[in-house]
Amino acid sequence: MLIRTRLRDRDDDIWRLWALRALLVLGAAHFLAGVVFFFAYNWDDLGPFARFGLLQGALIVALVAAFAAGLHRPAGQALLIAASVITGVLFGVIGQVYQTGADAWELFAAWTVLVLPWLFASRSSAHWFLWCALALTAFSAYGDQVLIPMGVIAAGDFMAVAGALVIAFLVLVELVIRAGVGWLDQRWMRVSLALVGLAILLIPAIGFVLEGDGDELGFAMFLVAAGALGYIYARVLPEFAVVAIATGFAALLAMVAGGRVIFEIVGTDGEAGSLVMGLLMLLLWCGFLTASTVRLLNLFNRQMAARGRGD
């Protein structure tokens, strides 16, 4: 009812302006889509230098447009992010035209380093998040292509290091925010970084619980990180989502551990009776853990709310 009244109250001028803006956005989107599809369709027929020129032209257009829009305003920031993405495409196309022995990690590493100036210029949390994903991809590729095959580090330990680096980036972000850089203070960013970091650590941690050896580092890192993040975001910098992620992942790990213990007791000799028995016990254990996690999170939530009110 309220909305309907408001709509009726608008005069013709507002509607005219609204229509003009809507058509402008629609037109701009169609134009851009047309440009993108034109080049995508004719890509195979373009020579290598046309491709290089096109991408470099797009890069320059994005940067000039970013200046025009204002570097620190949303449109300018989006255009600088676009420039960062085009940079990667450009180097990808160079690597495709000139097929050398360069590894994928070299492309991502160069990309990660080359866009740094725009990162500092744009002052955008989304840009930094993208950069973190880029740096993680470069590091993972380096591990997959060099460190692990050359026997420098075991795969599980490498995952532990990768996860720890994401958590370290989160810590750095928090410290920079505390130092007064307000634009970095984004809820989605802190939650996403915690989620990605803990999820990466969870993989070797589960490996350790299942196999019992080899992934000690990842297991230890996961426990430390989940505990520390859970504590910090419950007590120091209240953010319930991170507390929930840390608790949920820990419960997941406990489920896997319980599963291993149960099947070691009942055996995995393939007898139907022991299999059903094991599955039933596992079901009970998972149910118990789920219920406990929910109760625990309710408790945390109430405590955090109480502290937030200053009780």
Partner 1 sequence: MKRFATWLVVAGAVVVLGTANYTIWQRQQIVDHGRPVLLELRPVDPRSLIQGDYMALAYAETIFPAADERSQLPRRGSFIVTLDADSVATFARLDTGGSLAANEARIKYKLVDQRGGMRLGAESYFFQEGQADLFADAEFGVLHVDDAGNSVLIGLAGENKLIIQAPENETGPDGARQDRD
Interacting residues with partner 1 (CB under 8 A): 41-42, 44-45, 52, 56, 59-60, 63, 66-67, 71-72, 80, 83, 87, 90-91, 94, 96, 98-101, 110, 114-118, 120-123, 145, 149-151
Q: What minimum distance in Å lies between the beta carbon of 169 and partner 1?
A: 21
Q: 219 Cβ partners below 8 Å, 6+ apart?
A: 204, 205, 208, 209
Q: How far apart are CA 219 and CA 39, in angstroms?
A: 48
Residue closer to partner 1, measured from CB, 150 or 236: 150
Query: By C-beta, is 48 or 227 nearer to partner 1?
Result: 48
- Rounded to a whole number of angstroms, the minimum distance from the CB of residue 36 to partner 1 is 17
Q: Which of 297, 202, 311 is nearest to 255 (CA)?
A: 202
Q: How many Cβ atoms are within 10 Å of 175's Cβ, its own excluded? A: 10
Q: Quick one: 117 or 212, whose CB is closer to partner 1? A: 117
Distances in whole angstroms, Cα of residue 2 to Cα of each of 5, 6, 8, 14, 198: 5, 6, 10, 18, 45
For the CB of residue 158, give the shortest distance to partner 1 in the complex, in Å: 15
Which CB sits closer to partner 1, 145 or 303?
Answer: 145
Type of residue at 225: A
- The whole-angstrom separation of Cα 63 and Cα 117 is 12
In the complex, least distance from residue 214 CB atom to partner 1, rounded to whole angstroms: 17
For 213, the 3-state DSSP assignment is coil
Q: Which is nearer to partner 1, 63 or 166 (CB)?
A: 63
Shortest approach of partner 1 to residue 91 CB, angstroms?
7
Q: Between residues 63 and 245, which has the closer beta carbon with respect to partner 1? A: 63
Q: How far is the CB of 92 from partner 1 (least distance, A)?
A: 11
| Residue-by-residue DSSP string for 157-196 | HHHHHHHHHHHHHHHHHHHHHHTT-GGG--HHHHHHHHHH
Task: Return the number of other C-beta atoms located less than 10 Å from residue 226's C-beta.
Answer: 24
